[in-house]
A and B are shown apart, each in its own frame.
Chain A
Amino acid sequence: MTVEQIVSEGKDQFPIGMRVLAVDDDPTCLLLLGTLLRRCQYHVTTTSQAKTALKMLRENKNKFDLVISDVHMPDMDGFKLLEHVGLEMDLPVIMLSANGDTKLVMKGITHGACDYLLKPVRIEELQNIWQHVVRRKKKDRCNSGSKDKPHPDSGEAAGIGNFDNNGKLNKKRKDQNEDEDDERDENGHDIEDPSAQKKPRVVWSVELHRKFVAAVNQLGIDKAVPKKILELMNVEKLTRENVASHLQKFRLYLKRISCVANQQANMAAALGTADSAYLRMGSLNGLGNFHTLTGSDQLHNAAFRSFPPSGVLGRLNTPAGLGIRGLPSPGTIQLGHVQNSGNPTNDLSKLQSFVPGNHNTNILQGMPMSLELDRLQHNKSAGHIGELPTTDSTTVFPGPGSLVDARITGFSNNPLLGVTSNSLMLEGSSQQATSHTSVSAIGFQNGNALSDFTFIAPASNQLQDSKADSQGQASPINCNAGQIIRSAPQEWNAPRKDAPYQSHASLNSSIPINGAMIQLGQYLDRNNSIFHRTTDLDSVGPLNFVDPLSIKHSEGDNSIMEPSVIEKEGYLMFQPRPHGNHDPDNIGSLEDLASAMMKQVRLVVSSLVNI
């Protein structure tokens, strides 16, 4: 069978005839790769220049089904190419390298590669790469089929719930929309053959993407629904489904970026990380992140950086693992990023916008404050982040626990991030518990850990009352929150049991508060032990915890690894639902966790207050 024949009949004989674009600057490897691929009966195009590859892809996205690219290339980094392809063309990309370092592989994953192969590549491995094409097609089908959800997060939340990896996001949505998809005609016709059922692919050129981002920014992450985005973009022949699937990818992309950013950020400010976590979450949720993203490319980077989803996770992980301690740090780290990103302000604004949106998303519910805080914090975040850890995290998050967590995370990380994350965090908590107040309290305290604690207690009360008021409270808290968050993460470890978890959770998934709660729940146990200790120790105890954590976070190394992990967790935990209740799936568990945490938090808080 000649290649030409295969190509023309590709649809029917998939994976035979699958069109692959191979990119590698090494001629030996390129020749070998091309030959191997042809031996697998794919239709192969090879090029040694990444730029040429991009050009070819941009000319006609429908010309290829899959891209395989080397990591080390002189004209463009393989990861960069990966991102471009993923964002603009939504094609699966496989990375190829002689270097199989875990770090590199991780980097590939966070940048969106659907697989990572080691040289020398064997034909057996290539024989199965078509699975990535099928998988993506299925995903696209589901995504495009899904109607625009009123809540970005609901859609996202679904996805977020499955946060263990980006793919999961889609999956959840897919499941939710499956029925819709089936009913819808658009994807229904040829489900069985992914390659056959290709709808005309939209080429997301740079211009188009810019419009998209602008539209999302304009609408606000939380309000960025495909329908509205489509209207704003006002592009002919662009369907809502196209926008919806691109939106999803975008969110994942943001998440990835933030993870990457987080790693880089490794901000010492554990608190910062919390924020970033939130931010990311926000982005994931699309709530906050989009804002940031849409705001500007810069923002994206900035936002992402601060928030690197993975970073968030990482943070959470660390705190979680540590128990209370862990919490603050991850968040802070991320926050650090945020600050660094420089767009923090952007983030904050985004967060803010985000926050409101978050109402929907559980996470932010109570947190309007946090966002504001973030802003405030963020501006000072650079300074704050570090500060928080020392402050009594415990104070910050007492009681509301659930809220606290959410909030705390937000704050700690990045002033900007923190804000959003804080808000997120708080929001999440608030849902569960009126802990909002507590959370808000936390925010305020940031600067002075200890003071924060005391602060928190009263705040929590307030919080409770004012979920709505949280906004108002948020402001004060925001200032503090940002700070607190920072410290909180650290402090949290000790007293906060709940808080740390929550913060973690919030960090990760700013979106899925529910998820966060769950995490928190997990952490709670740990925290509890820690918490108890802290209580005994009085505020001092927690501080101790915090510090190590903050330090950890600052290193940021953890975040790198953890974030990804956390992300998953975070995402899972955090359903974008602001209420946490929104998502029945998540809520149940989250709620339980939340309440458990709340209890613990309350305990801690009270003990702290006494201190």
Chain B
Amino acid sequence: MDVVNQLQRQFIDYSASLHREGFLDDQFTQLQKLQDDNSPDFVVEVASLFFEDCEKLINNMARALEQQQGVDFKQVDASVHQLKGSSSSIGAMRVKDVCIAFRSFCEAQNREGCLRCLQQVTHEYSLLKNKLQTLFRLQQQILAAGGSIPVVE
């Protein structure tokens, strides 16, 4: 159907742009491949979990960095480490890259640097969330129109 084709094309283009811009990397493609009839919502599930986790971690970091008495960099580092792990697992490349820089600031115990990174992480996370939500919406539309999700390589 034309509508389906159109949607599918849109989906492919959008996916490609996300990859191009570095929001997603190959790991995300792997995730998509894991989705099958047995777990049709797998990607959405993982993404939702990731967003929840991300918010929690960001809050932890913000709280830790706000401490006037003395920032517990170890704690911040632990949170960053976890965020790095989960972002790399889902393929959130830009988030992961910020985490890498974030970690070195933590090691250096540089509060300013950490705060900057925290801002960046928050920003990247919101961007990604929006983009993925758009992507998932497209997916749903395709399915609703009776089509199938094209596999983007």
Is the pairing of A and B real? yes
Query: B28: nearest residue on chain A (CB-CB)?
Result: A120
Tell me, in angstroms, the Cα distance from A29 to B82 when the chains sit together: 10
Q: How far is the CB of A311 from chain B (nearest CB, A)?
A: 27
Q: Which residues of B contact A206 (CB under 8 A)?
A: none
* Known contacts A26-B53, A26-B82, A26-B86; A31/B30 CB under 8 A: no
Tell me, in angstroms, the Cα distance from A36 to B46 when the chains sit together: 12
Which residues of A (1-48) have their CB < 8 Å from a CB of B?
25-29, 31-32, 35-36, 39
Q: Which residues of A contact B3 (CB under 8 A)?
A: none
Judged by a CB distance under 8 angstroms, whether A60 is at the interface is no
Tell me, in angstroms, the Cα distance from A489 to B27 when the chains sit together: 51
Binds A, one of B14-22, B65-73, B87-95: B87-95
Chain A to chain B contacts (Cβ below 8 Å), 13 pairs: A26-B53, A28-B49, A29-B85, A32-B31, A32-B46, A35-B42, A36-B34, A97-B85, A98-B82, A98-B88, A99-B81, A120-B30, A123-B34
Judged by a CB distance under 8 angstroms, whether B13 is at the interface is no
Tell me, in angstroms, the Cα distance from A26 to B45 when the chains sit together: 14
Judged by a CB distance under 8 angstroms, whether A122 is at the interface is yes
Judged by a CB distance under 8 angstroms, whether A135 is at the interface is no
Chain B 40-74 interface mask (CB, 8 Å, partner A; 1/0): 00100110011011000000000000000000000
Q: Which residues of B contact A120 (CB under 8 A)?
A: 27, 30, 88-91
Chain B 76-119 interface mask (CB, 8 Å, partner A; 1/0): 00100110111011110000000000000000000000000000
Tell me, in angstroms, the Cα distance from A283 to B89 when the chains sit together: 41
Q: Is the CB of B86 within 8 A of A28?
A: yes
Q: For B27, B85, B86, which residue has the most chain A Cβ atoms within 10 angstroms?
A: B85
Q: Is the CB of A28 within 8 A of B81?
A: no
Judged by a CB distance under 8 angstroms, whether A209 is at the interface is no
Q: Is the CB of B34 within 8 A of A39?
A: yes
Q: Which residues of A contact B81 (CB under 8 A)?
A: 72, 98-99
Judged by a CB distance under 8 angstroms, whether A119 is at the interface is yes
Which residues of A (150-171) have their CB < 8 Å from a CB of B?
none
Q: Which residues of A contact B31 (CB under 8 A)?
A: 32
Q: Is the CB of B53 within 8 A of A28?
A: yes
Tell me, in angstroms, the Cα distance from A123 to B34 when the chains sit together: 9
List residues of chain B with CB under 8 Å of any chain A CB.
Answer: 27, 30-31, 34, 39, 42, 45-46, 49-50, 52-53, 78, 81-82, 84-86, 88-91
Q: How far is the CB of B18 from chain A (nearest CB, A)?
A: 17
Q: Is the CB of B90 within 8 A of A32?
A: yes
Q: Which residues of B contact A99 (CB under 8 A)?
A: 81
Tell me, in angstroms, the Cα distance from A29 to B42 when the chains sit together: 13
Q: How far is the CB of B85 from chain A (nearest CB, A)?
A: 3
Q: How far is the CB of A167 from chain B (nearest CB, A)?
A: 28
Q: Is the CB of B39 within 8 A of A32?
A: no
Tell me, in angstroms, the Cα distance from A35 to B39 when the chains sit together: 9
Q: Is the CB of B89 within 8 A of A32?
A: yes
* Known contacts A39-B34, A120-B27; A28/B90 CB under 8 A: yes
Tell me, in angstroms, the Cα distance from A121 to B31 when the chains sit together: 11
Tell me, in angstroms, the Cα distance from A31 to B88 when the chains sit together: 14
Q: How far is the CB of A486 from chain B (nearest CB, A)?
A: 35
Q: For B78, B89, B90, which residue has the most chain A Cβ atoms within 10 angstroms?
A: B89
Q: Which residues of B contact A72 (CB under 8 A)?
A: 78, 81-82, 85
Q: Is the CB of A122 within 8 A of B30?
A: yes
Q: Which residues of A contact B50 (CB under 8 A)?
A: 28
Q: Which residues of A contact B89 (CB under 8 A)?
A: 26, 28-29, 32, 119-121
Q: Is the CB of B30 within 8 A of A123?
A: yes
Q: Which residues of B contact A29 (CB under 8 A)?
A: 85-86, 89
Q: How far is the CB of B128 from chain A (nearest CB, A)?
A: 13
Q: Which residues of A contact B46 (CB under 8 A)?
A: 28, 31-32, 35
Q: Which residues of B contact A28 (CB under 8 A)?
A: 46, 49-50, 53, 86, 89-90
Q: Is the CB of A27 within 8 A of B84?
A: no
Query: A122: nearest residue on chain B (CB-CB)?
Result: B30
Q: How far is the CB of A38 from chain B (nearest CB, A)?
A: 8
Query: B35: nearest residue on chain A (CB-CB)?
Result: A35
Q: Is the CB of B82 within 8 A of A27?
A: no
Query: B45: nearest residue on chain A (CB-CB)?
Result: A31
Q: Is the CB of A35 within 8 A of B85?
A: no
Query: B51: nearest residue on chain A (CB-CB)?
Result: A28
Q: How far is the CB of A70 from chain B (nearest CB, A)?
A: 8
Q: Is the CB of B84 within 8 A of A31?
A: no
Q: Which residues of A contact B84 (CB under 8 A)?
A: 98
Query: B48: nearest residue on chain A (CB-CB)?
Result: A28
Q: Sorted from nearest, which 4 A-B pairs have the closest CB atoms?
A: A98-B85, A28-B86, A120-B89, A28-B50
Tell me, in angstroms, the Cα distance from A383 to B133 when the chains sit together: 66
Q: Which residues of B contact A25 (CB under 8 A)?
A: 82
Q: Which residues of A contact B49 (CB under 8 A)?
A: 27-28, 31
Query: A29: nearest residue on chain B (CB-CB)?
Result: B89
Tell me, in angstroms, the Cα distance from A123 to B26 when the chains sit together: 13
Tell me, in angstroms, the Cα distance from A120 to B93 when the chains sit together: 11
Query: A124: nearest residue on chain B (CB-CB)?
Result: B30
Query: A72: nearest residue on chain B (CB-CB)?
Result: B81
Chain A 110-142 interface mask (CB, 8 Å, partner B; 1/0): 000000000111110000000000000000000
Q: Which residues of A contact B34 (CB under 8 A)?
A: 35-36, 39, 123
Q: Which residues of B contact A39 (CB under 8 A)?
A: 34
Tell me, in angstroms, the Cα distance from A435 to B85 when the chains sit together: 56
Q: How far is the CB of A2 from chain B (nearest CB, A)?
A: 10
Tell me, in angstroms, the Cα distance from A251 to B151 when the chains sit together: 52
Q: Which residues of A contact B52 (CB under 8 A)?
A: 27
Tell me, in angstroms, the Cα distance from A529 to B116 when the chains sit together: 57
Tell me, in angstroms, the Cα distance from A29 to B31 when the chains sit together: 12
Q: Which residues of A contact B45 (CB under 8 A)?
A: 31
Q: Which residues of A contact B42 (CB under 8 A)?
A: 35
Tell me, in angstroms, the Cα distance from A99 to B49 when the chains sit together: 21
Q: How far is the CB of B105 from chain A (nearest CB, A)?
A: 16
Q: For B49, B84, B91, which residue has the most chain A Cβ atoms within 10 angstroms?
A: B49
Which residues of A (163-195) have their CB < 8 Å from a CB of B?
none
Tell me, in angstroms, the Cα distance from A419 to B46 when the chains sit together: 57
Tell me, in angstroms, the Cα distance from A28 to B34 when the chains sit together: 14
Q: How far is the CB of A49 from chain B (nearest CB, A)?
A: 15
Q: Which residues of B contact A32 (CB under 8 A)?
A: 31, 46, 89-90
Tell me, in angstroms, the Cα distance from A297 to B55 when the chains sit together: 42
Q: Which residues of B contact A27 (CB under 8 A)?
A: 49, 52-53
Query: B99: nearest residue on chain A (CB-CB)?
Result: A98
Query: B87: nearest residue on chain A (CB-CB)?
Result: A28
Which residues of A (205-239) have their CB < 8 Å from a CB of B?
none
Query: A119: nearest residue on chain B (CB-CB)?
Result: B85
Tell me, in angstroms, the Cα distance from A27 to B52 when the chains sit together: 9
Q: Is the CB of A26 within 8 A of B90?
A: no
Query: B89: nearest residue on chain A (CB-CB)?
Result: A120
Tell me, in angstroms, the Cα distance from A120 to B88 when the chains sit together: 5
Q: How far is the CB of A187 from chain B (nearest CB, A)?
A: 38
Q: Which residues of A contact B82 (CB under 8 A)?
A: 25-26, 72, 98
